[in-house]
Structure 1
Amino acid sequence: PPLLAAVAGLAVALLGAFAASRRAGRVRPAEALADAVVDGRVMTVGRWVWSLLYLLAAGGYMISSMNAPAYQLRAPGMRGPDSKATWSLEMGTMVIIGLAMFAPLLVPPLVRALALPLPMLNGAAGLLAGRNALASARRTISTATPVFLVVALTGSVVGAGLAFADARDTEARSMAAAPYVASPSTGPALAPETLRALHAKPGLLAATTASAMVTGLGVGPLSSDENAANAPIPYRALVVNGDPASAWRLHVTSGSLPQFTGAAVAVSSELARAYGWRVGDRLNTRLPDGTPAALRLVATVRPSFGLPEVLLPGSALRRPVPASRAYLAERPAAPLPGVLVSAAGDRHDPDAATAAHFQRLTILAILAPALLYALIAVVNTMVMSTRDRVRDISALTAVGATRRQVSRAVAAETTLTVLTAALLALAVTALTQMAVVRTINTSILTGSARVPYTLPWTALALSALVCLALAVLSALTSLRPVLRSTFPPPSRTRA
């Protein structure tokens, strides 16, 4: 990936330089001597073509990824709710890039609308700021684009992360059939005397579970070679002692859970679709202790955050696996030593916490470099755009504008540009968040469980304020040498 990124960056830079030089080569000598006061057409034919091609390619990719064929589901990253989180990040990035390509169409009307109250708020400086932003459309667009990228990326990525974190909690509460869960306070497994105490009271213990690994799951013979019938990688399985329906409200897509006993297995519907498994098939596998076994597929269930893709009954194992969780029908009357009993919906799941931790690290790894380079671009474009205002500042001084009035006009124009970009980013975040929430509620959660539609207002506000502070500070800082050359200090006479 670093090599591909370096090659892609170099290719983009060369293409940009080629496009700029080609455009400059079309300018005739007489036109080069003239100085345009108002930018002409910004949305060129080439930009229209590339933007529309990008929209078609991005739309086709997103549709195909949401309706992935069976062979693509063999990649673990394409299955389960976590694949929807990856899809949401890709979707948000593609929408942001697509809207940035159409910035010449979207920015000027929004600037014109936002510039209407400026004369009333800031007098002549506000009027000049609005007119300059509209007249210098290319400068306004180039300044607004990095701000838009910062705010839109922050809003989309943080919003999707919060929505999926909320989906994990909502699913855990809605799937819990047993009201209480017992887990060891120390160590990976419950003590045997604890399990005996739970079994001693009738109706208290609903089921126990333990994590395990199975390999070579498939309809073909067991071998070390990869083939189309066998899954070539090990799978994390959950060994269930008891009725799974007494612990979770599982959404069974085919088969039935009452047959989940003996040499049986239940898998997620996406895993079964990936390899063409059907209820009744015999799946050969190696159990956690390494012994081969032929298990009958009795049910397929809808994928969920909290459960692995493979469920095994405890009776299918020749050697029992120590239980790490016990699902209880009621809270024990007396506390059990070394056991933490909590409500099923409020239980702190270490696996879920680990998954959430890695999800935050992924978001940080994706977001931090992009935001850093975008913030550098904000400062860079503001410095270059301020240096381009030398002629405008000279014209203002010729009509009697003071140093303070010029600074206020530049600050007002910068604020107008940042506000325009922030509003466009808010619209993108609202659109992507709507798609994310709809995907969660229709593809992941079942029944009456729903994730509410909310926007990450704190992240949006903080990113917009940071961009505004950097933009205004860099604009005014780069304006100082221009003002010094335009407003020379008064000469001092010797006494």
Structure 2
Amino acid sequence: VAGLGLLAGTAVVESAADGALFLAAGIVLSLLGLILAAPALVGLVVRVLGVLLLRVFGPVGRLAERNALRNPRRTGATAAALMIGLALVSGLSVVGSSMVASATDEIDASVGADFMLSPSNFGPVLPDVSAAVEEVRADGDAVASVTEYRVLSATATTPDGTVVDRQLAAAQPSMLEDLRVSTVAGDLAQVYEEPGGGLALDEDEAATLGLGVGDEVRVDFAGDSGPAALTVRAITEKSALEGGVWTVSLDTARAHLGPEALPLPSLLFVTAREGRAEEARVALEAALEPYPQMELRDQYELKEQIREQIGQLLNMVYGLLALAIVVAVLGVVNTLALAVVERTREIGLLRAIGLSRRQLRRMIRLESVVIALFGALLGVGLGLAWGAASHRLMALEGMRVLEIPWPVITVVFAGAALVGLVAAVAPAFRAGRMNILTAIGTE
């Protein structure tokens, strides 16, 4: 209860840093609590599974259900190992799917440019590349605009004397269309278009530093012209694409840094004219042939890149969690093997009154499956709670879409049933080979 209460507490925190403590403590306590409570839940959950799955197998299914209920502590402990692995898989799947869905939603809502151009080695865009792209825009009619996105570091001093180090994003006025950002207060266009510019920052940063539209911030660009007095012109919504980055115009950055000290672009946004995106892509790819390190992506390809990156990370984690699943399988095998040894005389009596070898093996397999599904239900339920609490903290960082990966959840349950079947192979085979008279005579 304490663990679930802490997980629910993530819904009321105002910052991800504060919520991280609630999340970490909630995960640990809810996991320990469910492990301790598992034996008490065996009666309820196994009976429900018995009604849904086992009763169709007649007396054999009822025997399997009662065998699983016979020792709740052992059943709960056996299922706990599987529960831990599946809880982690389910929780991480919710986090990964929500990250992909949030990024996709953010791209659809915010990115107005048709193409994004960046180096594959995460370096800057070299001047020759910028010149080649600009030449495509100047020589043809397919490209409407090219925006250079630069990131520079600066030190800011707020009106109350607070000094903070921040990254500043600098771009041309066309950035207003290339990356659409919703404003909470002020006008972002003033940052890019008015002489003298100013700066914009997101609502969380503004609240933390106590800044509002009209406040003056002293910004040290580390250039020759000394600190600049910039006025806050806009407060923007929190964005997953530009979280924590302040915005200034390229003219403002150039005026205080000078052309030589201005950093190279890290990204180029390219917008094609209406209905000529394919023509623009062909021209850009031809111009970029001498620069194989450059990657040209449209919005769909950008989404796929994000999906692949998160997928690769999750696959690495799933590989490690597979070891936990192997341990869980061994636990189920050991439990069933011990049960077969303990029930040797009982098995002999059942065989003597007409239970066939096939029915005996089926009974043990069904018992194994119901134990595995019991662990899967607890694990998936706990993992969904972890994932939902984690998403609440992600939403505070701009990733607002919660997505439950139902295909993964379905595979988890199917995999749990398969784990139960595989784990029962050896114990069921051993039970089926018992000599009836020898088994009856066993004490």
1:430 Cα shift?
Answer: 5.9
Q: 2:421 aligns with which of 465, 472, 478?
A: 472
SS at match of 2:152: strand
Query: For residues 339-488 of structure 1, what are the structure 2 equivalents within 5 Å?
Result: 345-346=299-300, 348=302, 353=305, 359-360=310-311, 362-364=313-315, 366-399=317-350, 400=352, 401=355, 403-428=357-382, 444=398, 454-457=404-407, 459-478=408-427
Q: 1:264 aligns with which of 178, 186, 198?
A: 198
Aligned to 1:326: 269
Aligned to 1:217: 156
Is 1:54 matched with 2:3? yes
1:383 Cα shift?
Answer: 0.4
Cα distance change, pair 290–463 in 1 and its aligned pair in 2 (3 A): farther
Aligned to 1:250: 181
Query: Retained in 2: the 8 A contact 1:205–1:326?
Result: no
Unaligned runs of 5+ in 1: 1-51, 222-227, 491-495
Amino acid at match of 1:169: T
Aligned to 1:198: 137
1:387 Cα shift?
Answer: 0.7
Aligned residues: 408
Query: Retained in 1: the 8 A contact 2:204–2:238?
Result: yes
Query: Retained in 1: the 8 A contact 2:198–2:232?
Result: yes
Q: 1:315 aligns with which of 242, 245, 251?
A: 251
Per-residue Cα deviation, 1:316-356 (whole angstroms, up to 9, x for no partner): 1222555541342614777354259989633537xx94x66
Distance in 1 separating the partners of 2:175 and 2:27:
37
Per-residue Cα deviation, 1:416-440 (whole angstroms, up to 9, x for no partner): 2223333444555666667778887
* Percent of aligned pairs sharing the same letter: 17
Q: 2:163 aligns with which of 181, 206, 230?
A: 230
Query: Retained in 1: the 8 A contact 2:155–2:164?
Result: yes
- TM (norm. structure 1) is 0.66
Q: 1:109 aligns with which of 29, 44, 49?
A: 44
**Higher RCO (CA 8 Å, separation ≥ 6 residues):** 2
Distance in 2 separating the partners of 1:106 and 1:463:
20
1:192 Cα shift?
Answer: 2.5
Is 1:276 matched with 2:210? yes
Cα distance change, pair 387–161 in 1 and its aligned pair in 2 (3 A): same
Amino acid at match of 1:188: V
- TM (norm. structure 2) is 0.73
Aligned to 2:82: 147
Aligned to 2:291: none
Distance in 2 separating the partners of 1:239 and 1:119:
65
Aligned to 1:173: 108
Per-residue Cα deviation, 1:178-211 (whole angstroms, up to 9, x for no partner): 4x33637998244325426636889964561323
Amino acid at match of 2:299: G
Give the RMSD, CA atoms, in angstroms.
4.4
Cα distance change, pair 206–95 in 1 and its aligned pair in 2 (3 A): farther
Aligned to 1:162: 97
Query: Retained in 2: the 8 A contact 1:214–1:286?
Result: no
Query: Retained in 1: the 8 A contact 2:92–2:387?
Result: no
Query: For residues 73-88 of structure 1, what are the structure 2 equivalents within 5 Å?
Result: none
Distance in 1 separating the partners of 2:3 and 2:389:
20
Amino acid at match of 2:248: L
Q: 2:15 aligns with which of 32, 52, 68?
A: 68
Say which is worse superposed, 132-141 or 435-444, in terms of deviation: 435-444
SS at match of 1:231: strand
1:260 Cα shift?
Answer: 0.3
Q: 1:188 aligns with which of 125, 133, 136?
A: 125
SS at match of 1:239: strand
Unaligned runs of 5+ in 2: 289-293
Per-residue Cα deviation, 1:37-83 (whole angstroms, up to 9, x for no partner): xxxxxxxxxxxxxxx333344444x246x4229xx58xxxx9xxxx9
Amino acid at match of 2:180: R
Cα distance change, pair 483–387 in 1 and its aligned pair in 2 (3 A): farther
Amino acid at match of 1:463: V
Query: Retained in 2: the 8 A contact 1:118–1:127?
Result: no
Aligned to 1:298: 233
Distance in 1 separating the partners of 2:391 and 2:372:
28
SS at match of 1:369: helix
Cα distance change, pair 59–251 in 1 and its aligned pair in 2 (3 A): same
Per-residue Cα deviation, 1:199-232 (whole angstroms, up to 9, x for no partner): 68899645613232213233389xxxxxx92235
Distance in 2 separating the partners of 1:445 and 1:144:
34
Query: For residues 25-64 of structure 1, what are the structure 2 equivalents within 5 Å?
Result: 52-60=1-9, 62-63=10-11
Amino acid at match of 1:268: D
SS at match of 1:191: helix
Distance in 2 separating the partners of 1:170 and 1:87:
27
Amino acid at match of 2:164: A
